[in-house]
Amino acid sequence: MKQIKKIGAVVSCLLVCGLLAACGAKLDARAYLQAMLDLSYKGDSAAYVEMKLGTSEEAAALYERGIDSEMTFFTEKLSMSEDLEADFRSLFKEIYGKAKYTVGEAKKQEDGSYVVEITYERMKVFEPALTVYNNNIASLPEAWEAMEETPVQEEMLEDMTEVLRDALQESIGSVEYEAAQSLTIRIELVENVYTPNSEDVIALERALFDSDYSLEDAEF
């Protein structure tokens, strides 16, 4: 099984879809960023709708689009049935829903942009899952040899994917967090539109999770 890296599509997708024109009432940058993060990670559209960034239906579609981005990458790399796809989709939602962040003070800059402080606790979920996966995957060859008919490669890959699913479920059930840290996200004026800085958004996603992980190449 080739290396797999968890990507950060959810927030980067949704923040781009929640841009605000710099006109009318003064921007509440803290509330704006809180609304976008809560929708992105928690699927909570209350503030998003209240700020008239979109309807509840549009918010739900955006949230699912972010999950779709994660799943597309994942399903391209792994062999899985529709049932397994549904399991992993639920797992991603649960993982993102457990993200710990606090949106702090927003400071307006001379150029009209804002800098918003985010306090977060990094979730340790993927590295522990990988440890469990590597321990449990070792028993599969013996199980396959004991079968009356040797499974084909696609069946073997699905078995391995099931082990990964179970490892993630176990890791989520006992998830731990690192000590609180902070970073800032810039909300910039780009062609008179308030736009979260994409590099800052990606940095937040990487900070929230132990997001880079790989499954060791397995030869059977």
| Whole-number average pLDDT of the chain | 84
Return the structure tokens found at 189: 């004026």
Domain boundaries, the chain: 9-124+182-208
What's the pLDDT score for residue 189?
83
What's the pLDDT score for residue 54?
86
Q: Which residue has the higher pLDDT, 208 or 8?
A: 208
* pLDDT average, residue stretch 183-194: 87
Q: What predicted TM-score, i.e. pTM, was given to this entire model?
A: 0.84
Q: What interhelical angle do 198-208 and 9-16 show, nearest 10?
A: 150
Collapsing DSSP to helix, strand or coil, 102 comes out as strand
* β-strand partners of 116: 106, 185
Comparing CA positions, the residue from 180, 118, 125 lying closest to residue 6 is 125
Residue 141 CA to residue 128 CA, distance in Å, equals 23
pLDDT digits (tens, 9 = 90+) for 27-55: 899 999 999 999 999 999 999 999 888 89
Comparing CA positions, the residue from 72, 66, 124 lying closest to residue 95 is 124
Residue 187 has pLDDT above 70, yes or no: yes
Q: Which distant-in-sequence residues (6+ apart) come within 8 Å of 166 by Cβ?
A: 132, 136
Res. 5 pLDDT band, cuts 50 70 90: very low
**Strands 181-190 and 193-196, bridge-based pairing:** antiparallel
pLDDT digits (tens, 9 = 90+) for 88-141: 999 989 999 999 999 999 999 998 899 999 999 999 998 899 899 999 999 998
pLDDT digits (tens, 9 = 90+) for 118-132: 999 999 998 899 899
Provide the percentage of residues in the chain whose pLDDT is more than 90.
45
Res. 16 pLDDT band, cuts 50 70 90: low
Residue 167 has pLDDT above 90, yes or no: yes
